[in-house]
Structure 1
Amino acid sequence: MRLVSYDRFGPAAEVLAVRDAPAQRPGPGEVSVELAFSGVNPSDVKARAGARPGVTKPPFPLIVPHSDGSGVISAVGDGVDSTRVGQRVWIWNGQWQRPFGTAATHITLPSEQAVPLPDTASLETGASLGIPGLTAAHVVFGGGAVRGQTILIHGGAGTVGHLAVQLARWGGARVIATARGAGADRCREAGADVVLDYAAPDLAEQIIAVTDGRAISRIVEVEFGRNIETNAAVIAPNGTIAAYGSAAQMSPVLPFGPLLFKAVTIDIVLIYLLSPPQRQGAISALHKALTEQAISCPVQSVFSLADTALAHETVERGGRTGAILVDVTS
């Protein structure tokens, strides 16, 4: 098989290399997938760059990056239904706590990590469902149904935020999103009822104004530290802040008093560590929305396997309007 790998941390163009390697046969409970697309996420880029606190060298001698991907099952191990051969699937946790991810023509992994792809979804969409899709589904629906609620989604123009806006609207919620510039239009196109400028100095007052004074029961948060004061001001008693990022302030100071006297739940989401019931709930929501054609996963750029470094650099630059994929067959 053909793959991209690295054996040390550093800039993408310096450490990512294309190699050939023998394909791994599936063991008991495993499947082998002939991949079509590999999804590149910020976590993949940070891991390759060595940007995780306290990590000084790669955890394995050789790493094939990327956790997301899509393709067709080509072989199954003992204990796996043979009818799965030929099934279109999408991958989750492809490179989580294991050396070999989806930046390759093939991957072998536990069968439950190769999820049947709904007929209405393309393989390109499948390569976006692992990290962005599951995160969006969990932060929106992790507390249960949202019909009739008002949900505040910070960063609604981002990859996860864009999906979260679509899912919340599909789930019957009124959606307030924050964004600015072209991102605001992107939020409206995704179904946001109201879009506010995330940099507005009176953002909390604007949020309360558009809800006619009613507080928000659920907040989806991409910048937990930066927005905690605003969120504490607008969240309802017993409300939840579902936070999946805080890149701007990784050591935030919390206004404990306002949070305490509203009994706020802070749900810090790391999608790799969802419990099986949580993950299945997110998968079910994603599949139902896809089957009803209620969500779309836009793609900004597709790179060849040989240009995986360029894909990493594109993610590093930020400001994306869609997924960055690697066509592992090219």
Structure 2
Amino acid sequence: MRAISYRRTGGPDVLELTDRPVPEPGPGEVRVRVAFSGVNPTDWKSRTNNEPGPDGQIPNQDGSGTVDAVGQGVDPVLIGERVWIWEAAWQRAWGTAAEYTVVPARQTVLLGAEPSFQLGAALGIPFLTAHRCLTVAESLPDRIGPGTLNGRTVLVQGGAGAVGNAAIQLARWADATVITTVSSPEKAQLAAAAGADHVVDYRQQDVVTEVRKVAPQGVDAIVEVSAAVNAGTDAQVIGMHGAVAMYADDGGAEVTIPVRMQMGPNARWQFVLVYTEPAWAKEIGVEDVNAAVLDGAIRVGREAGLPLHVFPLEQTAQAHQAVQDGAVGKVLVDVTA
């Protein structure tokens, strides 16, 4: 089978197209014939910083495809099912940048007949991250679903990114009022297409003023892509018992928070990384994201505010570079092309 792998850390050039035997699933595992592989920032960061094992590393955490074999202890009824995959390469040598991958059965989720494989490969890390960001506040529900955020206001900093788009779509599905910030008119159109109720161009408008117009008492949750830059703004618009959920790193930047100002509302400043979040929270996230998919609430493509950038498997290096360069939308690898 064709697979992308790397045997040393470095830039995209360390990724090589290789020929490997088709893997066999072990106990508790399934083998998936991969259709699309999703690329996230953690994929290129892992390639850059984490030494691969002696047999090399197949990159990429997210993906979609069809189960074609199961290991001991797994119900064979799964064979032939369309699924989406999450965390394939976390502390494992088998990611999704290959024609076949093997993962623990619990890390595949039934996609159903209608959603596309492109949508399935776009879910994983971005949507699980967004789910965690929307549920960490003590004043917010642990579960996301229709009506669960009714009467709540969510601020998504950077609504044109993959996690920002996911947060907008999930929050709107849960009936929240969604405010988002962007840096250009083009990104404003994408955020609006995703479902944001109010879009603020932070290069043209004062974010605090605009947010307070919508939420005079402050917002209930902030999904934060750049805490080091936005902490001052977040501190001024967070509401009572609200939470600022920080899911991205500006290259080792540090965050300065005005302590007294945050004591009044009992605000929470929460760091979010899907891979190490509590197991129960991750399980809930997977269930809720899949419920949103089956409810038809999740979309991909420019009309959903998430342009797709698709590369064939042999161009996985270019796909990684596109994510590293900040491509707006979702980068996918078409494994079948």
TM-score, normalization by structure 1: 0.92
More displaced 10-residue stretch of structure 1: 57-66 or 255-264: 57-66
Deviations for 1:187-210, whole angstroms, at most 9, x for unmatched residues?
111211111123457321221123
Contact 1:223 1:249 in 2 (8 A): no
Q: SS of the counterpart of 2:134?
A: helix
Q: Is residue 101 of structure 1 aligned with residue 87 of structure 2?
A: no
For the Cα contact (< 8 Å) 2:7–2:53, is it kept in 1? no
* Helix, strand or coil at the partner of 2:244: strand
CA contact (8 A) 1:133 1:163 kept: yes
Match of 2:314 among 297, 306, 317: 306
Report the CA distance shift for 1:234/1:249 in structure 2 as closer, same or farther (over 3 A).
farther
Percent identity between the two aligned chains = 40
Conservation of the 8 A alpha-carbon contact between 2:65 and 2:83: yes
Aligned-pair CA distance for 1:137: 2.4
Whole-angstrom distance in 2 between the partners of 1:34 and 1:245: 31
Residue deviations 1:221-266 (CA, integer Å, cap 9, x gap): 1111211111111111211112211326622222222122321112
Q: Which runs of 5+ in 2 are unaligned?
A: 142-147, 302-306
Residue in 1 that maps onto 2:145: none
The worse-fitting range, judged by mean Cα deviation, of 195-204 and 36-45 is 195-204
Partners of 1:287 and 1:274 lie apart in 2 by 18
Q: Give the whole-Å Cα distance in 2 for the aligned partners of 1:233 and 1:124.
A: 38
Give, in whole Å, the separation in 2 of the partners of 1:269 and 1:43: 13
Aligned match of 1:152: 155
Q: What is the deviation of 1:317?
A: 1.7
Residue correspondence of structure 1 range 29-68 to structure 2 within 5 A: 29-50=28-49, 57-58=51-52, 61-68=55-62
Aligned partner of 2:107: which letter? Answer: Q
Instruction: Report if aligned partners of 1:9, 1:58 keep a CA contact under 8 Å in 2.
Output: yes
Q: Runs of 4 or more off by more than 6 Å in structure 1?
A: none
8 Å CA contact retained: 1:76, 1:85: yes
Q: Distance in 1 between matches of 2:248 and 2:325?
A: 17
Note if 1:185 corresponds to 2:189.
yes
Please tell me whether the aligned partners of residues 226 and 246 of structure 1 are also in contact (alpha carbons under 8 angstroms): no
Change (3 A) 1:180 1:277: same
Rate the CA distance shift 1:209–1:248 in 2: closer, same or farther, 3 A: farther
Pair 1:2 & 2:2 matched:
yes
Q: 2: distance between equivalents of 1:5 and 1:24? A: 14
Residues 130-154 of structure 1: per-residue CA shift (max 9 Å, x gap): 1112112222245413111011111
- Taking structure 2 as the reference length, the TM-score comes to 0.90
8 Å CA contact retained: 1:223, 1:248: no
Structure 1 segment 71-110 matched on structure 2, within 5 A: 71-110=65-104
Query: Which AA in structure 2 matches 1:82?
Result: P
Once the two structures are TM-superposed, the CA of residue 60 in structure 1 deviates from its matched residue by 5.2
In structure 2, relative to structure 1, the CA distance for the partners of 1:7 and 1:154 (3 Å cut) is: same
Correspondences of 1:15-34 after superposition (within 5 Å): 15-34=14-33
Contact residue 118 and residue 287 of structure 1 kept, 8 A: no
After TM superposition, the structure 1 = structure 2 runs for residues 258-273 of structure 1, keeping only pairs within 5 Å, are 258-273=261-276
Q: CA RMSD in A?
A: 1.8
Deviation of 1:176 after TM superposition, in Å, equals 0.7
Contact 1:25–1:108 (Cα < 8 Å) also in 2: yes
Q: Does 1:323 align with 2:330?
A: yes
Q: Give the paired residue count.
A: 322
